């Protein structure tokens, strides 16, 4: 698994934000898409920085403190480029998941923009995706599910046929999707019984 290229599990196209956007808009986007970071890009989609949910929370907290001293103060003018991090750690689509995990751990971050050199200016990096811990967890979970499916197909075919029969189904005429759904149901039932 650690040799899988980032491109195979990254989220693409990425959800990004422009530097002139308001910080409040960044927070709303993060809430809407249930993400914790947004690459900040220019009009060509090239990386300028990154803003995280912590950055937004810190700005909102500072705005609340400001309002407690001056109720007429308006912090809504605060823009993303004023609080974004510009020294951004990135990953390329050809780096491996193993290399990615090392970068995440060494830098104590939960996700990175995936970049390639811009076609017009190789010094600028175009954001083509994002990758997070969640993407890695999903990859591991999918590999586990696949292993369990194979194990059940190899060693548990008798059990599966009995369960199918108890449910009034004929295993031999079920489609592959129906078989997979049934195996998922069995795995879920087994997990529930263990808990």
Tens digit of each residue's pLDDT (9 = 90 or more) over 142-154: 888 888 777 766 6
Average pLDDT over residues 80-108: 96
Q: At residue 164, does pLDDT exceed 60?
A: yes
What tokens appear for 52 in the block?
């995280």
pLDDT of residue 60: 80
Closest C-alpha to 130, from 156, 158, 104? 104
pLDDT of residue 194: 47
Q: At residue 86, does pLDDT exceed 90?
A: yes
pLDDT band at 191 (very low <50, low <70, confident <90, very high): low
Average pLDDT of the chain is: 86
pLDDT of residue 55: 93
Rounding to the nearest 10 degrees, give the CA dihedral for residues 121, 122, 124, 129.
Answer: 120
Instruction: List pLDDT tens digits, range 35-47.
Output: 999 999 999 999 9
pLDDT band at 63 (very low <50, low <70, confident <90, very high): low
Handedness of CA 119, 124, 125, 126 (dihedral sign): negative
pLDDT band at 68 (very low <50, low <70, confident <90, very high): very low
């Amino acid at each position: 698994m650690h040799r899988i290229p980032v491109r195979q599990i990254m989220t693409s196209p990425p959800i990004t934000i422009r530097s002139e956007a308001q910080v409040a808009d960044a927070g709303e986007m993060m809430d809407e898409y249930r993400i914790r970071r947004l690459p900040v890009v220019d009009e060509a989609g090239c990386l300028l920085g990154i803003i995280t949910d912590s950055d937004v929370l810190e700005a909102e907290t500072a705005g609340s403190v400001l309002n407690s001293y001056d109720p007429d103060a308006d912090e809504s003018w605060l823009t993303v480029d004023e609080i974004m991090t510009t020294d951004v750690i990135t990953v390329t689509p050809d780096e491996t998941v193993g290399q990615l995990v090392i970068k995440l751990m060494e830098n104590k971050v939960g996700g990175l923009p995936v970049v390639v050199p811009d076609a017009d200016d190789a010094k600028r990096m175009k954001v083509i995706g994002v990758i997070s811990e969640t993407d890695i967890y999903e990859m591991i979970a999918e590999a586990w599910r696949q292993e369990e499916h194979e194990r059940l197909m190899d060693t548990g075919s008798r059990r599966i046929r009995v369960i199918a029969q108890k449910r009034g189904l004929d295993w031999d005429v079920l489609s592959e999707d129906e078989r997979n759904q049934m195996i998922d149901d069995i795995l879920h039932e087994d997990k529930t019984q263990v808990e």
